[in-house]
Amino acid sequence: MTRNLASWDRIGRLILGALLVLGALTGTIGVWGWVGLVLLATAGMNFCPLYRIFGFKTCTDC
């Protein structure tokens, strides 16, 4: 897996993913909050499979 996320993209995914999971844990937003796990996983791997499928990269040095 080749890196395809810029640092700002990773930080955004980490923040949004954590907020979604937190909302799911507290019951604020329901089951859809668990989608945040996907954002956390892609941020942790520094790779987004959908970006690869569509040929999109946010990093400039990869």
The residue segments making up the domain with residue 37 are 7-54
Whether residue 61 is predicted with pLDDT greater than 90 in this model: the reply is: no
On whether the pTM is more than 0.85, the answer is yes
Six token digits for residue 17: 């993913």
Whether residue 1 is predicted with pLDDT greater than 90 in this model: the reply is: no
59 is a domain residue: no
60 is a domain residue: no
62 is a domain residue: no
1 is a domain residue: no
Number of domains in the chain: 1
Q: CA neighbours within 13 Å on the CB side: how many for 15?
A: 6
Tens of pLDDT, residue by residue over 3-55, are 999 999 999 999 999 999 999 999 999 999 999 999 999 999 999 999 999 99
28 is a domain residue: yes
How buried is residue 17: exposed, middle or buried, by Cβ count under 10 Å (0-12/13-18/19+)?
Answer: buried
Torsional class of 57: left (φ above 0), alpha (ψ -120 to 50), beta (otherwise)? beta
